[in-house]
């Protein structure tokens, strides 16, 4: 038996998961999203990544960014290695892609803030 708090919405339902290796039973959720969340957590947990990238612009040395989708938790370290090695050399607006298709995952890194125009 495993217990999790569902983080899909602010209700934060406490989920009890019974996994016998073939079937995953989820109790305690107020809606079906809780079961989907619990099954993903038990089989292939994923997360969005929110971080910053370095830039070449002295007045804005870092830019806040996030992934535009969720990535497997097991790949977050490799994602961060790519993001931490990257230096942005063009000005971007919020929502613009900063890094495309990171590690062939289909997931992009996008700006979450506007850079000031010079």
Binding residues for ligand SF4 (CB under 6 A): 6, 8-9, 11-13, 29-31, 33-34
Nearest distance in Å: CB 16, ligand SF4? 12
Angle at 111 between CA 70 and CA 43, to 5 degrees: 5
Between 30 and 93, whose beta carbon lies closer to ligand SF4? Answer: 30
Between 34 and 98, whose beta carbon lies closer to ligand SF4? Answer: 34
Alpha carbon distance 87, 55 (integer Å): 5
Nearest distance in Å: CB 22, ligand SF4? 23
Q: Are 69 and 48 spatial neighbours (Cβ–Cβ below 8 Å)?
A: yes
């Amino acid at each position: 038996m495993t217990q999790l708090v569902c983080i899909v919405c602010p209700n934060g339902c406490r989920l009890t998961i019974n996994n016998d290796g073939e079937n995953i039973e989820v109790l305690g959720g107020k809606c079906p999203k809780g079961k989907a969340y619990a099954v993903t957590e038990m089989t292939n947990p994923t997360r969005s990544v929110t971080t910053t990238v370095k830039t070449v612009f002295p007045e804005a040395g870092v830019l806040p960014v996030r992934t535009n989708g969720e990535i497997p938790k097991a790949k977050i370290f490799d994602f961060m290695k790519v993001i931490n090695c990257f230096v942005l050399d063009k000005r971007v607006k919020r929502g613009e892609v900063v890094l495309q298709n990171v590690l062939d995952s289909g997931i992009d890194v996008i700006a979450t803030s506007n850079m000031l125009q010079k």
